[in-house]
Amino acid sequence: ILMSAGWTPSVHLFSQSRGKVAFNDETKRFVPGIYAQDCVSVGACNGTDGLSATVDEAYAAGAKAAKDAGSKPAKGTKPRVDAGESWSRGMLGAAPGAGADTTVKAFVDFQNDVTAKDIRQAVHEGMRSIEHVKRFTTNGMATDQGKTSNMHGLAIAAETLGKPI
């Protein structure tokens, strides 16, 4: 069994501040887009990969916040960390080899046993809105509320419809 939900930025607080997310085609995920309130997203919730890049972004955001609040620049240096590697591979949808023309059973929602075939079937039955596809299949309705399955279901539905995410 191969199981992965990928790396999806937690944009929930950003969205709750009425911010609009934007889909990044390169990394295949939603990231903060248009800000509606005075807030800052850094690190994983901003779609930033790697520990070093996250620390750099957090340090810059903290320095700017302190300056904006009227504080003097801190005396000290930014922590140094091992850069490591980027952890986003930019893959969404069914696993390679589990396309529409195969009998491979590729699970999308592990808690509700929703497969890629189920998502495709929903589209073939006339579901055009992702919300209708989710209700038709129960994708994303388990205890994780779609955190591990919604992006993959969305990608499979978009591919089946021949539309971009």
**CATH code of the domain containing 120:** 1.10.10.1100
The pLDDT, as a whole number, for residue 142 is 87
- The region of weakest confidence among 22-36, 41-55, 83-97 is 83-97
Binning pLDDT at 50, 70 and 90, where does residue 100 land?
confident
Tally the domains of the chain. 2
The pLDDT, as a whole number, for residue 48 is 87
- The DSSP symbol for 128 reads -
Place of tokens 């080899």: 97
Indicate if 86 and 11 belong to the same structural domain.
yes
The pLDDT, as a whole number, for residue 104 is 78
State whether the Cα torsion 146-149-152-156 is positive or negative: negative
Q: Report how far residue 77's alpha carbon sits from residue 114's, in angstroms, rounded to the nearest whole number.
A: 49
Q: Report how far residue 4's alpha carbon sits from residue 24's, in angstroms, rounded to the nearest whole number.
A: 19
Indicate if 79 and 21 belong to the same structural domain.
yes
Residues 6+ away with beta carbon under 8 Å from 101: none
Q: What is the pLDDT of residues 44-77, one digit of tens each?
A: 889 888 788 888 899 899 889 889 999 887 777 7
Place of tokens 């009227």: 70
Q: What is the pLDDT of residues 113-152, one digit of tens each?
A: 999 999 999 999 999 999 999 999 999 998 888 888 888 8
Indicate if 114 and 85 belong to the same structural domain.
no
| Residue 11: exposure state from Cβ atoms within 10 A (0-12, 13-18, ≥19) | buried
Higher pLDDT, 96 or 109: 109
Residue 111 domain boundaries: 107-161
